[in-house]
Amino acid sequence: MANDRRRLIVVSNRGPVVHARDETGGIEARRGGGGLVTALDSLAEHLDVTWVASAISDGDRLVAAEARGEPVEERSRAGSPYLLRLVEHNPAEYARYYNVVANPMLWFVQHRLWDLARAPCVDEQFREAWEQGYALVNRAFADAVCEELEETPEAAVFFHDYHLYLAPRFVRERRPDATLAHFVHIPWVSPDYWGVLPADMRRAVHDGLLANDLVGFHTERWRRTFVNAAVRLLDAERADSAVAYDGRRTTTVARPISVDPSEFDALGVDEAVLACQADLRQGRPERLIVRVDRTDPSKNILRGLRAFELLLARHPEHRGRVRLLALLHPSRQEIPEYAAYTAEIESAAADLNDRAGAVAVDLRLADDFPLSIAAYKEYDVLFVNAIFDGLNLVAKEGPLVNEHDGVLVLSENAGAAEELAPWALVVNPFDVGDQAEALHRALAMSVDERRGRLDGLRTHIREHDASRWVQGVLADLDRIIPARRG
Ligand code: F6P
């Protein structure tokens, strides 16, 4: 793979950049948020990449219309050129795809978030959203990929996530020889939980993924669950770590994604971050517990507040000395379940502060990246109590820049626990007593133990960084491509 630059078509709903108008009225490309973009963006250093993504912002749509479906040139953070092809969708179809099927339905199924006594109700409207939204948007992605494959038939295609489960099958039907890989960034669940979806839909999800040559997950746990589900739902056959189905073989791998430590080294001394850190220090309580999340029910923010209040009740010595700083990025607010969850968080935090008679919880609802990095530097405890999480990059980012020998309290259901458990305090995300005691243990821990744990985390994260993930993915592709081409 390393000797000649191979071509790769990366496909994801959200692209690496968002286009917006600048002060002069022109269009500028701003880097999209999230660690996923960082890891994928570095693929451009190694390969000739064409990235296919939805045109989401108004600026994206302007760029897409101007380009008339052709890719435009962009540059990765390190300056390597790549092509970006923005796919324009019909707004009503896109709303059904994103706001009804992908979120909340697939997201809630795969994070086991449904309150099954009440929801979901899979009715005609949902079927319409599946057929006239999810399937059509996946079809549009498949069309764009097939057009790219016309130009570069040797390119491998690399799909991402739960937005695109049907697209690989649509491509495979037209391109039986294409090399297709898919990375699933969220957990996988058992066939019983997939039973929430009608039989044709849950089969289509697994059938679509098995149209790939390779399917990757962040953990062995999700990988194994996927293989078991495919065997049961599709009568597929297990063949070591592969699945044999419909005359083909799909290899499955577990490769936890990671962060770029050099990016965090630079962020640690970034001016905007230092300014935020100075602000935080001014009003800093004696001890600081930090959480950084999207306002997503999977992040378990409400139970986190309960656990924090329980900590103060059981261990009164922390009252007035410890604060929870919750930096929450409002996410997917057009979806009623998300808007309701955000409102619940706000009122639960206000109630908690009323009862405490002080600002015990400092809740900030914003997408403020420099502030998040500053909080990473300042925490005594980093609190990650997700109900379920594919990986959780916060658990890898915080330790890289922390300046307080901070302790990581980590949910046993975050994929990152598969790697980081030896140095974290691992908690049951449903058990608020367990979380309260872990917070107490972290706050009471000796400096030596805290430092030892933080060093262990840092060493692991630096050794298992984003470039190692990219190299691993490229090696996986290397293994399947010769096997397929004979
Ligand atoms: O894998 C989950 C994911 O796609 C992450 O990349 C990201 O954190 C999040 O979901 C973004 O969601 P959205 O695109 O809906 O804002």
User: Closest Cα to atom 14, ligand 1: which residue?
Assistant: 14
What separation in Å is there between the alpha carbon of 258 and the centre of ligand 1? 15
Q: What is the pLDDT of residue 1?
A: 39
Who contacts 211 (Cβ-Cβ below 8 Å, separation ≥6)? 168, 169, 171, 172, 180, 248
What separation in Å is there between the alpha carbon of 81 and the centre of ligand 1? 24
- Whole-angstrom Cα distance, residue 69 to residue 148? 11
Give SS3 for 166: coil
- List beta partners, residue 36: none
Instruction: Give the other-Cβ count within 10 Å of 467's Cβ.
Output: 16
What separation in Å is there between the alpha carbon of 37 and the centre of ligand 1? 10
C-alpha 403: how far from chain center: 26
Q: What is the pLDDT of residue 2?
A: 40
- Whole-angstrom Cα distance, residue 148 to residue 144? 6
For 131, the token pair is 């057929």
- Choose one of 137, 160, 185 to mutate for the ligand 1 pocket test, by most ligand atoms within 8 angstroms of C-beta: 185
User: Closest Cα to atom 9, ligand 1: which residue?
Assistant: 34
Sequence-ordered strand ranges (E) for 25-144: 27-31, 48-54, 72-75, 81-87
What separation in Å is there between the alpha carbon of 34 and the centre of ligand 1? 8
What separation in Å is there between the alpha carbon of 230 and the centre of ligand 1? 24
Q: Which amino acids bring their CB within 6 angstroms of ligand 1?
A: 14, 34, 36, 103, 161, 185-186, 331-332, 390
Q: What is the pLDDT of residue 26?
A: 87
Per DSSP, the residues of 405-417 read --EEEEETTBTTH
- Whole-angstrom Cα distance, residue 433 to residue 310? 7
Ligand 1 atom having least distance to the Cα of 14: 14
Backbone angles phi, psi at 357, to 5 degrees: 70, 20
Residue that the structure tokens 């990025």 belong to:
329
Ligand 1 atom having least distance to the Cα of 331: 16
User: Closest Cα to atom 5, ligand 1: which residue?
Assistant: 36
Backbone angles phi, psi at 189, to 5 degrees: -125, 170
User: Closest Cα to atom 8, ligand 1: which residue?
Assistant: 34
What separation in Å is there between the alpha carbon of 234 and the centre of ligand 1? 28
Backbone angles phi, psi at 424, to 5 degrees: -105, 170
Closest alpha carbon to 183 in 313, 348, 429, 10: 10
- Whole-angstrom Cα distance, residue 422 to residue 435? 17
- Choose one of 11, 18, 137, 294 to mutate for the ligand 1 pocket test, by most ligand atoms within 8 angstroms of C-beta: 294
What separation in Å is there between the alpha carbon of 56 and the centre of ligand 1? 14
Instruction: Give the other-Cβ count within 10 Å of 185's Cβ.
Output: 19
Return per-residue pLDDT of the chain as tens, 486 residues: 343 568 999 999 999 999 998 888 888 988 876 667 777 888 898 899 999 999 999 999 999 999 998 999 999 888 999 999 999 999 999 999 999 999 999 999 999 999 999 999 999 999 999 999 999 999 999 999 999 999 999 999 999 999 999 999 999 999 999 999 999 999 999 999 999 999 999 999 999 999 999 999 999 999 999 999 999 999 999 998 999 999 999 999 999 999 999 999 999 999 999 999 999 999 899 999 999 999 999 999 999 999 999 999 999 999 999 999 999 999 999 999 999 999 999 999 999 999 999 999 999 999 999 999 999 999 999 999 999 999 999 999 999 999 999 999 999 999 999 999 999 999 999 999 999 999 999 999 999 999 999 999 999 999 999 999 999 998 998 888 766 654
What separation in Å is there between the alpha carbon of 25 and the centre of ligand 1? 29
What separation in Å is there between the alpha carbon of 283 and the centre of ligand 1? 32
- Choose one of 12, 13, 14 to mutate for the ligand 1 pocket test, by most ligand atoms within 8 angstroms of C-beta: 14
User: Closest Cα to atom 15, ligand 1: which residue?
Assistant: 332
What separation in Å is there between the alpha carbon of 332 and the centre of ligand 1? 10
* Dihedral (Cα; 399, 401, 407, 410), 10-degree rounding: -40
Residue 24, exposed/middle/buried by CB under 10 A (0-12, 13-18, 19+)? exposed
Q: What is the pLDDT of residue 208?
A: 98
CB contact at 8 A, 188 and 229 = yes
